[in-house]
Structure 1
Amino acid sequence: MVLMNKDAQMRAAINQKLIETGERERLKELLRAKLIECGWKDQLKAHCKGN
């Protein structure tokens, strides 16, 4: 068994609950939509192309 500090244990427990409830995917989709809405995706693409 791997020993984890309390912060790591708390993060793991929260992540597990988010996965079990489906909230993790919902939050990922919400974040993706907000980043696209504010133009972040286009800005990042332009930055990577060197524009």
Structure 2
Amino acid sequence: MKGYSEQQISALKEETYTGPMMISLHEQTEMVEHKLNQTVEKLEKLLAKEQAARL
């Protein structure tokens, strides 16, 4: 990037990867993963219950 020192470029890169947007994205990803895991667990229990009812 023309006109920027190596230190400025490094600082911008660091901010890009650790800034509020990335932290928020990380938190959102964790929340979605948690909800998906809950849904999978619920569906597995429902499947087991229905399979047991068919026996």
Shorter-chain TM range is 0.3 to 0.5
For the pair shown, which has the larger CA radius of gyration, 1 or 2?
2
TM-score if structure 1 supplies the norm length? Answer: 0.35
TM-score if structure 2 supplies the norm length? Answer: 0.34
